[in-house]
A and B are shown apart, each in its own frame.
Chain A
Amino acid sequence: GQNIDQPTEMTATEGAIVQINCTYQTSGFNGLFWYQQHAGEAPTFLSYNVLDGLEEKGRFSSFLSRSKGYSYLLLKELQMKDSASYLCAVRDSRKGNKLVFGAGTILRVKS
């Protein structure tokens, strides 16, 4: 989506930590989702943030700052299977509360 920015690609090493950033511009922010999508497969839900702060779920954490229009997804103890595209999606009340997706960040995990 034109109002959501994510890096196009990132590379990280197995076992390391990586942070994938997402910035958005809308006055109708109403929640942010992170999805993981392996090539040729369905996007799968990772996390949901609607209030400021950090949500932790196992190896994955997601952070939101509404005042800065900023979120990140933190992946710890990277595994080869984490190689995928990571999609940031904003629920926008100016657009009927439908999800507007970023183009995704392709993460490559190397050994």
Chain B
Amino acid sequence: GAGVSQSPRYKVAKRGQDVALRCDPISGHVSLFWYQQALGQGPEFLTYFQNEAQLDKSGLPSDRFFAERPEGSVSTLKIQRTQQEDSAVYLCASSLAGTNQPQHFGDGTRLSIL
């Protein structure tokens, strides 16, 4: 596809369950970013990959959050033992290379924890 694709679009899980969110970046984009967006707020940085290397994971809120990009393309954000405060929209973005290039965002996954 031409843009960044995220799945699922919506996810409802019970507190304590594990969830996995997928991101397909734009083909050829080296850099991939994950953000968390609460209602009425701007996106907040979670983690950043350059190819398969995770260069920055300083925004991950706890060790329950884990992200990977094993082949330098598709990425998965995993949240273990979900809590209600994890409810948010999770956005993925990709760029040609680095953080000084415009980032192209997917529509996000809206996660609701019951």
Within 8 Å by CB of A43, from B44, B55, B58, B105, lies B105
Q: How many interface residues does A have (CB within 8 Å)?
A: 27
- CB contacts under 8 Å to A, within B52-76, are 55-56, 58-59
- CB contacts under 8 Å to B, within A60-111, are 87, 89, 91, 95-104
Q: Interface residue tally of chain B, by bracket?
A: 20 to 34
Q: CB-defined interface of B34-48 with A at 8 Å, one 1/0 digit per residue?
A: 000000111111001
> Chain A: which residue is nearest B105 at the CB level?
A42
Residues of chain B having any CB pair with chain A under 8 Å = 3-4, 33, 40-45, 48, 55-56, 58-59, 91, 98-100, 102-108
9 examples of A-B residue contacts, CB within 8 angstroms: A1-B42, A1-B44, A42-B105, A48-B102, A87-B42, A87-B43, A96-B48, A96-B56, A103-B42
Could you list 19 further interchain pairs (A-B, Cβ under 8 angstroms) beyond the known A1-B42, A97-B100?
Answer: A4-B42, A31-B100, A33-B103, A41-B107, A42-B3, A42-B108, A43-B91, A43-B105, A48-B102, A50-B100, A96-B58, A97-B99, A98-B33, A98-B56, A99-B33, A99-B45, A102-B42, A103-B41, A103-B42
